[in-house]
Amino acid sequence: MNLKFKCQLVDDEKEQSFKEICLSYLRIFVAEFIGSFLYVFFGCACINNLSSFFGVSICYALVVGASIQVFAAISLAHLNPAITLCFYIFGIISLPSSLVYLIAQCLGGIAGAFTIKDLSVYNPSSIITKRGTEGNCCTFVGEGVSIGRAFAWEFGQTCFLILGVCSIIHPKNLARLESYPVKMGILIFALLYSGTSFTSTGINPMRSFGPAVSNQEWENHWIYWVAPLFASAVASICYHIICLPENGQDLLKQILRRRKAIED
């Protein structure tokens, strides 16, 4: 059991100058902003152009996998505040870095939602629409699903997602990080296909926030923030305690630094 949490309030890269830290934050911001933009833009386009849950799930999973592939070498392509919280709990990123990730993700999601809405060749409202209409990209609680069940569904699905992320970044698996986009794509497909009819499968506050802002659709929106972040905290802490070796956080940092040095 590993009860030694090493969450960083500030960056521990003492050898880096202020300029280097700022440039690092800028790279993270740009990567997460563009990645989140692509995530929402093409994800919502999938929803508008495909009618079946299976087709939408496959398309969205491919979009997520491709976005991760493009930006993983720069920021590990979180593209999800729940995943960012997981990385913070694991001590991989600091609190300031987490805020950079969060701001970039939210702004990228908003930009992606507004752009796909404005560039639609059909009625702009046909893509980012209100609940129950065709082409809906806003996340909403399904008909007949209670608030409690919706919260439980979002919580459970996000727990599964975060446990998958934790297993991918386990020190024993980091040597196979190149397959990260494929693994995440498969996991996203499974979650989308199983949960879309219940809660639209949010599992990502950024993905829900962008369309909500562009369409001013806030009904039950709190579920898509509270449930995923709570699930991320619970799943990350449990995995850390049960599965991560005592020196696991130090091993993670060392391996990721070596990978970064090679990529740079």
**Sequence-distant (≥ 6) Cβ neighbours of residue 143 within 8 angstroms:** 132
What rounded mean pLDDT belongs to the chain? 84
Other CB atoms within 10 A of residue 256 CB: 16
Domain count, the chain: 1
Using alpha carbons, select from 107, 209, 227, 104 the residue that is nearest to residue 162: 227
Q: What is the dihedral of CA 187, 188, 194, 199, to 10 degrees?
A: 140
Give mean pLDDT, residues 201-209.
94
Q: Rounded to two decimals, what is the model's pTM?
A: 0.89
Give me the residues paired with residue 30 across strands: none
Q: Are 134 and 59 in contact (CB under 8 A)?
A: no
Structure confidence at residue 121 (pLDDT): 57
Establish if 124 belongs to a structural domain: yes
Q: Which residues form the domain of 44?
A: 18-263
Express each pLDDT in 54-93 by its tens digit: 888 899 999 999 999 999 888 889 999 999 999 998 888 8
Give mean pLDDT, residues 221-249.
88
Domain of 156: which CATH number?
1.20.1080.10
**Over the range 91-120, which residues count as b (16 or more CB within 10 Å of their CB) and which as e?**
bbbbeebbebbbebbbbbbbbbbbbbbeeb
